[in-house]
Amino acid sequence: MRVRDFLCSSRIHFLRVNDTVKDVCTIFNDLKIDASLVVDDSGILLGLFTKNHVFKAVKNGTNFDTPIGELMTTNVMSGHPDDNVEDRFYFKHGYLPVVENGKAVGVISIPDFVKTYHDSYKVARNFVDAIVNSSSNLMISVGQDGRIILVNRVAQERLEMSEADFIGKDYSDIFPDLSLMDVMKSGIIPPVQKVMIKGRPYINSRYPVWLEGKIIGAVSAFQDVEALDLIISELGTVKELNRDLDAIIESSSDGIFVCDGDANVLRINSAYQKISELDTSGFYGRNMRDLVADGTYSQSVTLLVIAKRDTVSIIQKTSSGKSLLATGKPVFDEKGNILRVVTSVRDITDLHRIQQTLEETQKMTEEYRKELDSLRIKSVKNIDGMIIGSEKMNALVDMAIRLAKVDSTIMITGESGTGKDLVAGIIHKYSQREAKPFIKVNCSAIPANLLESELFGYEDGAFTGARKGGKPGYFEMADKGTLFLDEIGELPYELQAKMLRVLQHKEFNRVGGKKFMQVDVRILAATNRDLMEMVNEKKFREDLYYRLNVVPLNIPSLRERSEDIPFITAYYLKLFNDSYDMTKRFSSEVMDAFEKYSWPGNIRELRNLVERLVVMCPDNVITPADLPSNICTEAKCEDSVSGIGIRVTEVMPLKDAIENVEKQLIAKAYEKFASTREMAKHLKISAPTIVRRAAKYGITKNGLFHK
């Protein structure tokens, strides 16, 4: 053992020559030590101060404020941490200072040495005994005098003798036909010898025990011949099974590839080499991770099987240019661990090439279709603030444009704030009546007693205060054009019959008039109420309902088309930034909160909130801390200052999680780097891909918003 094995770092404290006896007494007491080294500022050993010095100072009546430099022992012998304790066992003054590279590193005492040495010897002896007793062979060891010093448990049981019967006995007294003294004298290991013990055959092996170039004893080991015969028999059976297995594997026309549970290659049949066109002679013993890393395979089905613990099929590309359909199956042992992974492969290079061509064609076709769809609705994406980004709204606007070509009455339904008036405007713009008047009437904004005169007009003198010469109503003003009746559910019941006549006969008379006037008006109605329920409650005429509801068109609420939120937010953010000469932008956490919030007020609520945040937030970056509490509570939003990167707070579809992480990474890249080239370099994807993904998620460089 080395000196360093006896050093205890937690009890090392170096003293200085100016430390007083009183100071040292406190240190000895606190650290529970009896001695310490005195060093200079560079750590050079100057002397040794022990508890005996303290006793001597007390005996001589020395003042406790005396510096220890006047009392310490200066002539001390030191050791090195790598000294062998057995070779350099010296403790002058009862202590051994330890110095390395000219500097003091510690001190050990006789009690510390004795305890540590004894504990180490005990551990080592127990370890040796455990090893010897774990052997299934009989083992007996002798010292230099030929007397037995160790015997394992198996030997005691087989020879039916206790340890006391062995220890100290001469080996030749128990085994007269076997000599260990010759082995110790010559140092040569003799050939094995077959012997009989208690009527049972054993094979005996004898060999000397060396220590530091000297023979200090010998060991005699006995192996049971019957156990060897059983092993040889089992080996023969295994060899025969291996031959059968090899024949079966080689007879397969499919390529077979076998790995162990750690993905190390064990078997490959000749069909695999033909199919893959790979030189597999150097594969045996290699790990599949290495074969993937060096480019031999694009991916490993074996590694996927080990990870998933189930059958996996993949298309695998090889460095030879082949495409293989590889199916891997796990083989489990009795404990449920994967023992083997058996992979069968087939060559599908031609089929894969055709499939790739088909997929590329389909992808190109889909891209063309999306391009056409995009071009078709591009001109209506910003009509009067109508922002379209989702498939639902694309389909809705597409239908509105198609319905615009006919003159059917359309009932537009949807929650308040969804943009029913904008859809009505699109229908008018793309109709044959585009050049004619488009009149909007909010039935709930006009008092019931004035609504009839506003809609149908009035004659001169029809009522007190009537304008001289009369006044045309909205129906007359919308002649040849479109009349949009918003909140039609608020139309008074007594006025509904007159409205029905206009729809049926295209004629009406002014208030106070007797002459019927013909009118050519297309009616678009809208409501956020359930008109059918109002019909059942006798609050809305059934015949008028069916006359208005010729073609129903429902606008989904904002929470039903959350993918539109980034586009609508970006539009209003730019609008208000431009209006107020600002450069505000939303953090990605705010956009996450917007998508999770239910928006009961729909687009109107979103527009008002964006304007409020732009005007009121003092910083350019709007964070969740700036949002109203009701939105943060419902969306469970968290501020980005937490510093945590990717975090999962709830179970969600894997596709959604991947898209969410992708959005955050691209947004961070836009914030950090000046060009898409730099972004592509750090994200390990192409620059065009970054542009496409950023457009998909509405991420812009000019700070409108980050999503």
Q: Which pLDDT does position 652 carry in this prediction? A: 73
Instruction: Tell me which of 251, 273, 291 is where a domain ends.
Output: 251
> 158 with 267, same domain?
no
> 342 with 412, same domain?
no
Instruction: Tell me which of 251, 285, 311 is where a domain ends.
Output: 251
Residue 92 lies in a domain: yes
State residue 76 phi and psi, 5-degree precision.
-120, 145
Residue 127 lies in a domain: no
CATH number of the domain where residue 679 is located: 1.10.8.60
Residue 533 lies in a domain: yes
Instruction: Tell me which of 236, 251, 266 is where a domain ends.
Output: 251
Question: Which residue is listed with tokens 């579809």?
Answer: 653
CATH number of the domain where residue 65 is located: 3.10.580.10
Residue 383 lies in a domain: no
Provide the percentage of residues in the chain whose pLDDT is more than 90.
25
> 244 with 258, same domain?
no
**Closest to 565 (Cα-Cα) out of 598, 534, 540, 611:** 598
> 417 with 524, same domain?
yes
**Pairwise CA distance, residues 354 & 352, whole Å:** 5
pTM of the model: 0.40
**Closest to 521 (Cα-Cα) out of 609, 437, 588:** 437
CB atoms within 10 A of CB 92: 13
Binning pLDDT at 50, 70 and 90, where does residue 380 land? Answer: very low
Question: Which residue is listed with tokens 């998508």?
Answer: 595
> 407 with 530, same domain?
yes
> 236 with 265, same domain?
no
**Pairwise CA distance, residues 632 & 625, whole Å:** 8
State residue 199 phi and psi, 5-degree precision.
75, 15
Q: Which residues contact 327 (CB under 8 A, 6 or more apart)?
A: 301, 311, 312, 313, 343, 344, 345
Residue 106 lies in a domain: yes
Q: What angle do CA 266, 270, 272 make, to 5 degrees?
A: 75
**Pairwise CA distance, residues 249 & 269, whole Å:** 6
CATH number of the domain where residue 300 is located: 3.30.450.20
> 50 with 146, same domain?
no
Domain of residue 12, residue span: 3-116
User: What mean pLDDT is predicted for residues 623-633?
Assistant: 86
CB 204 within 8 A of CB 220: yes
Q: Which residues contact 607 (CB under 8 A, 6 or more apart)?
A: 568, 572
Residue 576 lies in a domain: no
Question: Which residue is listed with tokens 């359909």?
Answer: 325
Residue 493 lies in a domain: yes
CB 362 within 8 A of CB 370: no
Q: Which of 210-224, 380-394, 538-552 has the lowest mean pLDDT?
A: 380-394
Binning pLDDT at 50, 70 and 90, where does residue 647 land? Answer: low
Binning pLDDT at 50, 70 and 90, where does residue 291 land? Answer: very high
* Secondary structure (DSSP) of 7-44: --GGG---B-TT-BHHHHHHHHHHHT-SEEEEE-TT--
How many separate domains does the chain show?
Answer: 5
CB 420 within 8 A of CB 526: yes
User: What mean pLDDT is predicted for residues 321-326?
Assistant: 86
> 455 with 478, same domain?
yes
Is a pLDDT exceeding 60 seen at residue 372? no
Could you tell me how many helices (H) and strands (E) the chain has, helices first? Answer: 26, 23
> 414 with 497, same domain?
yes
Q: Which residues contact 452 (CB under 8 A, 6 or more apart)?
A: 495, 498, 511
**AA identity, residue 613:** L
Is a pLDDT exceeding 70 seen at residue 658? yes
Question: Which residue is listed with tokens 């956009």?
Answer: 591
- Per-residue pLDDT of 665-700, as tens digits, reads 888 888 778 788 888 888 888 777 888 788 778 787
> 403 with 502, same domain?
yes
> 190 with 243, same domain?
yes
Q: Which pLDDT does position 467 carry in this prediction? A: 76
> 625 with 524, same domain?
no
Is a pLDDT exceeding 50 seen at residue 703? no
**AA identity, residue 109:** S
- Per-residue pLDDT of 576-597, as tens digits, reads 999 999 989 998 888 888 988 9
Residue 568 lies in a domain: no
CATH number of the domain where residue 454 is located: 3.40.50.300
Binning pLDDT at 50, 70 and 90, where does residue 178 land? Answer: confident
Provide the percentage of residues in the chain whose pLDDT is more than 70.
86
- Per-residue pLDDT of 466-499, as tens digits, reads 777 788 889 999 999 999 999 999 999 989 888 8
Measured on CA atoms in the order 69, 70, 72, 73, is the torsion positive or negative? positive
